[in-house]
Amino acid sequence: MSVMTWPNDQPLFDRFVVLEWRGMQIGRPAGIAAQIFFGVLLALNLTTGLAATAEKEREAARWLERMMTAVRALNYQGTFIYLHDNQLESIRVVHAVEDGQIREHLISLNGAPREVIRDKRSITCVRPESQQISIDKRPPSNKFLDLLPQDLDKLTPHYAFRTLGTARIAGHQSKVVAIIPRDDYRYGYRFYLDQESALPLKSDLMDEQGQALEQTMFTSLEIGVAEWNIDESNKQRGITIRKSDLPRSEIESDRPQWHFESLPAGFVVTSRSRVPDTANGGVIDHYVLSDGLASLSIFIEAAGEGGALEGASRLGAINAWGGRRADHQITAVGEVPAITLLSVVEAMRYNAAESP
């Protein structure tokens, strides 16, 4: 048996065989010693790269943790713009924290005059042009800037965290931090955090292609200030006050009529409730599903004669789907990709044998 050998005086780097890899020419040494050398070098590079990526993840997580503290603990006021579905709104906000409780006052600066007042007990909407005030006594789900769960580790199986440099927003220097989904079942976020306070100066909701679906950006901001001047004279000006205090019967102890199989990874049912259907005299079952950041709602009611949503619909970042399952009208809606809604609907199963 003959063995091919290289001349001893031939330089190591002359012993390359050329390979094609994804359209690029790379060299590979044919000698065993060289293969070992480059294998070790590759392992070292991979280890260094993984360590650098892990450190970027930790740095981004630290910034996000600071952001969560800032939005829940700081007083601030200013004006921000909200871009969504090719519409631009300008809104004045006052965010006050007293004894750990958050109050917010938002005033629309363009279009029809509107005000929203939120605290731990209710949401009050004021519409001066229509001479009406509506008060929803249900606890508000505060999503303005306060988006993330307390435990970021719960998000890491489905999202990656990255720092993306710096930018200047509303006269403040900011750190750019991204939350990047690991699959197509959820949207991503990009936050521009004030370098000193970590308060979000700008936030972008990103679709599956990395394009902004919604953007919120401060144009002016005062941190540490919250001038709370709420006009309490509306009742004396003949404005009608409408209160919404819909009773909800928790059904956690009851056997649910529906369950879900093979949900998109990370999504679980976080709440179930039942509300009266005042229009038809029945009830509406409401399921909320979430992965800790993204969420969607499923509404289930007795199928009617028509007028309900059929098929898919979209408004900006919000997708919706309507249709019938097991003689029930199903409506799914959420700030998630359409594929997520459809996958959740396909995972629904009716517990016919357990129904009364």
Same domain, 256 and 237: no
Q: Which two tokens stand for residue 186?
A: 């959820």
Report if residue 66 sits inside a domain.
yes
| CATH number of residue 337's parent domain | 3.30.200.100
What pLDDT score does 243 carry? 53
Tell me what pLDDT residue 138 has: 52
Domain boundary among 210, 225, 242: 242
- pLDDT at position 154 is 92
CA angle centred on 146, ends 216 and 143, rounded to 5°: 70
Residue-level pLDDT at 232: 53
- Give a yes or no: residue 98 inside a domain: yes
Distance CA 96, CA 76 (A): 7
**Below-70 pLDDT ranges, the chain:** 1-31, 34-35, 37-38, 43-52, 129-144, 231-255, 279, 281, 305-307, 352-356
On whether residue 290 sits in a domain, the answer given is yes
User: Total domain count for the chain?
Assistant: 2
Given CA atoms 67, 73, 79, 83 in this order, what sign does their dihedral have? positive
122 CB-near residues (< 8 Å, 6+ apart) = 135, 136, 137, 138, 139, 140
- Tell me, yes or no, whether 39 lies in a domain: no
Do residue 199 and residue 323 come from a single domain? no
Cβ burial 330-342 (10 Å sphere, 16+ → b, else e): bbbbbbbbeebbe
Check whether residue 170 and residue 230 sit in a common domain.
Answer: yes
The closest alpha carbon to 342, from 321, 324, 326, belongs to 321
Shared domain check, 290 and 221: no
Q: In angstroms, what CA-CA distances link 69 with 23, 65, 141, 218, 236?
A: 48, 6, 17, 19, 39
CA distances, 77 to each of 34, 102, 210, 223, 315 (Å): 63, 13, 30, 7, 29
CA–CA distance, 292 with 299 (Å, rounded to integer): 20
**Run of H or E residues at 168:** strand 159-169
Domain termination site, one of 210, 242, 274: 242
Cα(242)–Cα(248) distance, integer angstroms: 19
Residues 6+ apart with CB under 8 A from 307: none
Cα 53 to Cα 63: distance, rounded to the nearest angstrom:
15
Domain assignment present for 278:
yes
Domain of 307?
246-354
Question: What integer pLDDT is reported at residue 3 of this predicted model?
Answer: 41
pLDDT value at position 49? 59
Boundary of a domain, candidates 190, 220, 242: 242
Q: What are phi and psi of 157, to 5 degrees?
A: -65, -20
Q: Please tell me whether residues 195 and 298 are part of one structural domain.
A: no
- The verdict on 256 and 230 lying in the same domain is no
> Could you tell me if 348 and 290 lie in one domain?
yes
* Residue 183 shares a structural domain with residue 70: yes
Residue 44 belongs to some domain of the structure: no
pLDDT tens digits for range 26-58? 344 445 776 676 677 776 666 665 566 778 889
Together in a domain, 172 and 138? yes
Reduced to 3 states (helix: H, G, I; strand: E, B; else coil), residue 154 is: helix
Q: Write down the pLDDT at residue 134.
A: 64
Residues 231 and 280 in one domain: no
What 3-state DSSP class applies to 221? strand
**CA pair distance 21, 60, nearest whole angstrom:** 33
pLDDT at 142: 47
Residues 315, 250, single domain; the answer is: yes
Q: Are residues 289 and 168 in the same domain?
A: no
Task: Count helices and strands (H / E) in the chain.
Answer: 2, 23
